[in-house]
Structure 1
Amino acid sequence: EILEDLEPLRKHRGRLPEETLRYAEKTLFLLTVKPVMFVANIGEEDLPEGEANPHLQKLRAKAEEEGVPVVAICAEIEAQMVDLSDEERRELLEAYGLKEPGLYRVVREGYGLLNLVTFFTTGEKETRAWTVVRGTKAPQAAGKIHTDMERGFIRAEVISYEDYVRSGSWSRAKEKGLVRLEGRDYEVRDGDIIYFRFNV
């Protein structure tokens, strides 16, 4: 019935059983099951939110009807920021009443739509960001780095990004008792900094 009405299946998320949507996605390969976001390119004069732009208002009305998020950015400003220093970028954003580049909002909204989180690993030589689906357990997150780490997982030492920054270092965070030991059932959270213990 829904397919005959030619309505996107994503509009029925929450009304249809998840198994039905997964079946439609995996067997019928329907793109209308996939999450969508609208990214609107607005002019400098419409910054910061584009409230006076009639085209953007129509898009927002359509998006609300479909349950789709809208991110308004100014591509011209985004392009200008590429070659600027951090200080110049900050000044440009402030001049237009923006708190952050539009690209950051697009990425954050995309992560939310796709149900993704980022965790970090850090050492003396490098810090890396890893992306996993929300709800991923610690051993499977370790497996994103290397399959041996998942196979030989013992435990994870975890601290939130905010606690790490406030502490200034891993050793100071440990001294303050902010580093937690987590086991196999721990679900990785967005912004976790993790040191995996494993043995193979």
Structure 2
Amino acid sequence: MERIRHALMDGKPARSVTLTDFEKDAVNHLCLLTMKPVIYVENVAESDLADSAINPNVKEVMNLASELQSGLVTISAQVESELTELPFEERSEFLNSLGVSESCLGNLIRATYSLLGLRTYFTSGEKETKAWTILSGMTAPQAAGVIHSDFEKGFIRAETLRTVQEGDVMLFRFNVWQPSY
């Protein structure tokens, strides 16, 4: 507690103090705002979006965020506004012309999920595909429990389908059905 008090008195956030798990539990009930994780979001010009790290202002905020053990995401509010005006089919081409592959909002969402220790998984059936948010490190039965507690209680197994990743080694087994006459 004394180390946190000293940090706060020096104008530093409580999260800047390295704590053991026991110490974290001990100060958790204080609900210190400066213990909460932080992401700085910096608005940059459209021209700086592709390589914002060379912008001196971004470098300054990046250094500050690093010192304060926080994250930084750069966005261009102008670009995001223009994206909303474009038809969906033209958005990728517009972003490519700026030298970026996706909307900054996707980066912000991923950074936020990472900071909060969250993950997303999907379920899919005949009628719908749904995204579920879980805590990082949850087991399959715990993830099933997010959908319904009965799923966790009666858990048998989970089948996972994923997209092919670079370098995957795959063995395809197949059978071509041919009618016999």
Equivalent in 150, 153, 167 of residue 151 of structure 1: 153
Alpha-carbon distance between aligned partners in 1 of 2:41 and 2:25, rounded to the nearest angstrom: 26
Equivalent in 14, 19, 31 of residue 9 of structure 1: 14
**Residue 20 of structure 1 corresponds to which residue in structure 2?**
23
Determine helix, strand or coil for the equivalent of 1:118. strand
User: 1:35 touches 1:114 (CA, 8 Å); kept in 2?
Assistant: yes
Q: Which has the higher strand share?
A: 1
User: 1:72 touches 1:102 (CA, 8 Å); kept in 2?
Assistant: yes
Moved over 4 A (4+): none
User: 1:24 touches 1:33 (CA, 8 Å); kept in 2?
Assistant: no
Equivalent in 51, 65, 68 of residue 66 of structure 1: 68
Determine helix, strand or coil for the equivalent of 2:34. helix
Q: Alignment identity in percent?
A: 41
**Residue 136 of structure 2 corresponds to which residue in structure 1?**
134
**Residue 169 of structure 2 corresponds to which residue in structure 1?**
none
Determine helix, strand or coil for the equivalent of 1:39. strand
* Cα distance change of structure 1 residues 124 and 21 upon mapping to structure 2, 3 Å threshold: same
**Paired residue type of 2:63:** A
Q: Following TM superposition, by how much is the alpha carbon of 1:55 offset from its aligned partner in structure 2, in angstroms?
A: 2.3
User: 2:44 touches 2:75 (CA, 8 Å); kept in 1?
Assistant: yes
Determine helix, strand or coil for the equivalent of 1:63. helix
User: 1:9 touches 1:21 (CA, 8 Å); kept in 2?
Assistant: no
Counterparts in 2 of 1:75-94, with a 5 A limit?
75-94=77-96
**Residue 194 of structure 1 corresponds to which residue in structure 2?**
none
Equivalent in 52, 56, 59 of residue 58 of structure 2: 56
Output one character per residue of 1:25-49: Cα deviation in whole Å (capped at 9) or x when no partner: 2x10111111111110111132213
- Structure 1 unaligned blocks of 5 or more: 165-174, 178-200
TM-score (norm 2): 0.81
The number of residues matched between the two structures is 163
Alpha-carbon distance between aligned partners in 2 of 1:70 and 1:63, rounded to the nearest angstrom: 7
- Structure 2 unaligned blocks of 5 or more: 166-171, 175-181
Output one character per residue of 1:159-196: Cα deviation in whole Å (capped at 9) or x when no partner: 22x149xxxxxxxxxx859xxxxxxxxxxxxxxxxxxx
Q: Following TM superposition, by how much is the alpha carbon of 1:127 offset from its aligned partner in structure 2, in angstroms?
A: 0.5
**Paired residue type of 1:11:** S
User: 2:16 touches 2:69 (CA, 8 Å); kept in 1?
Assistant: yes
CA RMSD of aligned residues (A): 2.1
Max Rg structure: 2
* Cα distance change of structure 1 residues 83 and 125 upon mapping to structure 2, 3 Å threshold: farther
Q: Following TM superposition, by how much is the alpha carbon of 1:153 offset from its aligned partner in structure 2, in angstroms?
A: 1.5
Determine helix, strand or coil for the equivalent of 2:95. helix
**Paired residue type of 2:160:** V
Q: Following TM superposition, by how much is the alpha carbon of 1:83 offset from its aligned partner in structure 2, in angstroms?
A: 3.1
